Amino acid sequence: MSLAVTAALCVLLGLHFYAADRASVVRHAERLHRVTAEAVAQPLPGGAGARIATLDWTDASGKHVVQDPVPATTRPGDHVVLWVDRNDVPQAAPPGAAQSAGTAVAYAMAAFAGCATLLVGGHAWAGQALNRRVERSWEDEWAQVEPEWNHRS
């Protein structure tokens, strides 16, 4: 019963984490806007499998040129979607709903694992404590009864 209640509470905790993360993503995305930039040169290796390309785009504030990570298949002339802030500095794209869901599930499962460990450990400890008390009670009773049974009073 306790584990079922714990599981239900952890599901609610996971839903809370998901909602909070999505709200944070929305707030972050409000400070960004998407632009479509063109790769102007062959991307160069950027380490750890990443590729860095020179990208440019033009908007109402003028022409912009930046170097930013791009997919490995990007070639000169390809268009790449960038998320930029108000100063037209590239930023990481806001995480998708699947990433928020994965994070929420991981946190909820970790909370459940911790609570389940405490519940099972507490149950085992209480069982051992009860067994020790019963054992002492039997020893005390035997200490009183044993002399009468052996006629040693």
Query: What is the Cα–Cα distance from 36 to 56, expressed in whole angstroms?
Result: 9
Tens digits of residue pLDDT in 102-133: 999 999 999 999 999 999 999 999 999 999 99
144: part of which helix (H) or strand (E)? helix 97-149
Confidence at 82, pLDDT banded by 50, 70, 90: very high
- pLDDT for 153 equals 56
Confidence at 62, pLDDT banded by 50, 70, 90: confident
Beta strands in 40-150 (DSSP E): 44-47, 50-59, 62-70, 79-84, 90-91
Q: Please name which of 66, 100, 62 lies closest in space to residue 84, comparing C-alpha atoms.
A: 66
pLDDT at 152 over 70: no
Amino acid at 53: A
Query: What is the Cα–Cα distance from 13 to 6, expressed in whole angstroms?
Result: 10
- pLDDT for 102 equals 97
Burial grade of 129 (CB within 10 A; 0-12, 13-18, 19 or more) = exposed
- pLDDT for 78 equals 92
Query: What is the Cα–Cα distance from 74 to 76, expressed in whole angstroms?
Result: 7
Task: Give the chain's mean pLDDT.
Answer: 91
Domain coordinates of the chain in residue numbers? 1-31+94-153, 33-93
Distance of CA 129 to the CA centre of its chain: 37
Confidence at 26, pLDDT banded by 50, 70, 90: very high
Main-chain phi, psi angles of 106, to 5 degrees: -60, -45
pLDDT at 54 over 80: yes
pLDDT at 40 over 60: yes
Instruction: Decide: 18 and 100 in contact? Cβ < 8 Å.
Output: yes
